[in-house]
Structure 1
Amino acid sequence: MVSPQTMRAVRESGAVPNASLLLEISNARKEFPGVVALDDVSLKLRRGTVHALMGENGAGKSTLMKIIAGIYTPDSGEVKLRGVNIQLKSPLDALENGIAMIHQELNLMPYMSVAENIWIRREPLTRFGFVDHGELNRRTAALFAKLNIDIDPEVQVSTLSVASRQMVEIAKAVSYESDVLIMDEPTSALTETEVAHLFSIIRDLRSQGKGIIYITHKMNELFEIADEFSVFRDGRYIGTHASTDVTRDEIIRMMVGREITQMFPKEIVPIGDVVLSVKDLALRGVFSDISFDVRAGEILGIAGLVGSGRSNVAETIFGVSPATSGSISINGKPVTIESPTVAIQHGMAFITEDRKETGCLLALDIQENMQLAVLQDGYTKFGFVTQGALSRTCEEMSQKLRVKTPSLDERVENLSGGNQQKVLIGRWLLTNPKILILDEPTRGIDVGAKAEIHKLVSQLARQGVAVIMISSELPEVLGMSDRIMVMHHGRATGFLDRAEADQVKIMDLAAR
Structure 2
Amino acid sequence: MNSDAASVPFLQVVGVHKRFTGVHALRGVSLSFQRGQIYHLLGENGCGKSTLIKIISGAQPPDEGELIIDGVSHARLSALESLEAGIETVYQDLSLLPNMSVAENVALTSELAGNQGRLARTFDRRALAQTAARALAAVGLPGDAEFQSTLIEELPLATRQLVAIARGIASEAKFVIMDEPTTSLTQKEVDNLIAVLGNLRAQGVTVLFVSHKLDECYAIGGEVIVLRDGQKMAQGPITDYTKAQISELMTGRQLSNERYRESGYGEEVVLNVSGLTRTGQFADVSFALHRGEILGVTGLLDSGRNELARALAGVAPAQHGEIVLDGKRITLRTPSDAKDHRIGYVPEDRLNEGLFLDKPIRDNVITAMISSLRDRFGQIDRDRAQTLAVNTVKELQIATPDVDKPVQSLSGGNQQRVLIGRWLAIDPRVLILHGPTVGVDVGSKDIIYRIMQGLSQRGIGIILISDDLPELLQNCDRILMMKKGRVANEYQAGNLHEADLYHALLSEAA
TM over 0.5: yes
- Which residue identity is paired with 1:107? S
For 1:77-116, list aligned pairs within 5 A.
Answer: 77-116=65-104
Shift of 1:268: 1.7
Structure 1 length-normalised TM: 0.90
**Cα offset for 1:393?**
3.1
* Contact 2:473/2:494 (8 A) holds in 1: no
| Cα distance per residue 1:240-277 (max 9 Å; x no partner) | 22212221111111111011135541122332411111
Residue 163 of structure 1: how far off its partner (Å): 1.9
Q: How many residues align?
A: 498
Show the counterpart of 1:66.
54
Structure-2 separation of matches of 1:89 and 1:381: 57
Q: Which moved more, 1:291-300 or 1:386-395?
A: 386-395
Kindly provide the amino acid, as one letter, of the partner of residue 61 in structure 1.
K
What is the match of residue 442 of structure 1? 437
Q: CA deviation at 1:90?
A: 3.5
Return the offset for 1:18: 7.8
Given candidates 20, 41, 47, the residue that maps to 1:53 is 41
Does the CA-based 8 Å contact 2:55-2:77 persist in structure 1? no
Aligned equivalent of 1:471, options 450, 454, 466: 466
1:281 aligns with 2:276: yes
Report the more deviating stretch, 492-501 or 396-405.
Answer: 396-405
CA displacement at 1:323 relative to structure 2: 1.7
Paired amino acid for 1:23? L
Give RMSD over aligned pairs: 2.5
SS of the residue corresponding to residue 376 of structure 1 reads helix
2:130 to 131, 138, 145: 138
Task: Classify 1:377/1:29 alpha carbon distance in 2 versus 1 (closer, same or farther; 3 Å).
Answer: farther
Counterpart of 1:120 in 2: which secondary structure?
Answer: helix
- Residue 121 of structure 1 and its aligned partner are, at CA, apart by 6.8
**Separation of aligned partners in 2, 1:482 and 1:199:** 31
The letter of the residue matching 2:504 is: D
Residues 121 and 485 of structure 1, relative CA distance in 2, 3 Å threshold: closer
Partner of 2:189: 194
Residue 33 (1) aligns with residue 29 (2)? no
**Aligned-pair CA distance for 1:102:** 0.8
CA distance 1:42–1:376, shift in 2 (3 Å) = farther
The secondary structure found in structure 1 opposite 2:302 is coil
1:161-197 residue CA offsets vs partner (Å, 9 max, x unmatched): 2222111111101111111111111112212221111
Partner residue in 2 for 1:4: none
* Partners of 1:77 and 1:17 in 2: CA distance: 23
1:491 pairs with 2:498: no
Task: Show the counterpart of 1:508.
Answer: 504
**AA of the residue aligned to 1:456:** I
Is 2:251–2:443's contact at 8 Å kept on the other side of the alignment? Answer: yes
Task: Give 1:466 shift.
Answer: 0.5
Q: Which residue of 2 aligns with 1:302?
A: 297
| Aligned mates of 1:48, 1:347 — CA distance in 2 | 53
Task: Provide the secondary structure at the position in 2 that maps to 1:377.
Answer: helix
Deviations 1:347-403 (Å, cap 9, x if unpaired)?
A: 110000011111111222322222212233357565433323432432333344343
User: 1:475 Cα shift?
Assistant: 1.4
Asked if 1:20 is matched to 2:12, the reply is: no
Residue of structure 2 in register with 1:219 after alignment: 214
How far does the alpha carbon of each residue in 1:186-224 deviate from its partner, in whole angstroms, 9 at most, with x for none? 112212221111111111111222211111111112222
How far apart are the structure 2 equivalents of 1:14 and 1:416?
44
Q: CA deviation at 1:95?
A: 1.1
What's the CA shift for 1:37? 2.2
The answer to whether residue 332 in structure 2 is matched with residue 340 in structure 1 is no
Call closer, same or farther: CA 1:326–1:252 in 2, change over 3 Å: same
Q: Secondary structure at the match of 1:117?
A: helix
Q: CA deviation at 1:81?
A: 1.5
Q: How far apart in 2 are the matches of 1:95 and 1:20? A: 20
Counterpart of 1:396, as a letter, is N
Structure 2: runs of 5+ lacking an equivalent: none
For the residues of structure 2 that align with 1:164 and 1:394, how far apart are their CA atoms? 36
More moved, 478-487 vs 389-398: 389-398
Matches of 2:78 and 2:422 in 1, distance apart?
35
- 1:89 and 1:142, CA in 2 relative to 1: closer, same or farther beyond 3 A? same
Counterpart contact for 1:48–1:209, Cα < 8 Å = yes
Identical-residue share of aligned pairs (%): 37
Deviation at 1:142, TM superposition (A): 2.5
AA matched with 1:162: L
Q: 1:461 aligned to 2:453?
A: no
Cα gap change, 1:30/1:376 in structure 2, threshold over 3 Å: closer, same or farther? farther
Residues 46 and 328 (structure 1), Cα distance of their counterparts in 2 relative to 1, 3 Å cut:
same
C-alpha contact 2:110 2:170 (8 A) present in aligned 1: no
Summarize the Cα distance change of 1:198–1:262 in structure 2 as closer, same or farther, 3 Å threshold. Answer: closer
Which residue of the partner structure matches residue 431 of structure 1? Answer: 426
The alpha-carbon distance between structure 1 residues 14 and 343, as it changes in their structure 2 partners (threshold 3 A), is farther
Q: 1:403 to 1:238 in 2, by over 3 A?
A: farther
- CA shift at 1:445, angstroms? 0.8
Counterparts of 1:364-443 in structure 2, within 5 Å, are: 364-378=359-373, 380=375, 383-443=378-438
**Deviation digits for residues 425-475 of structure 1, max 9, x if unmatched?**
222223321100000001111111111111111111111000100111111
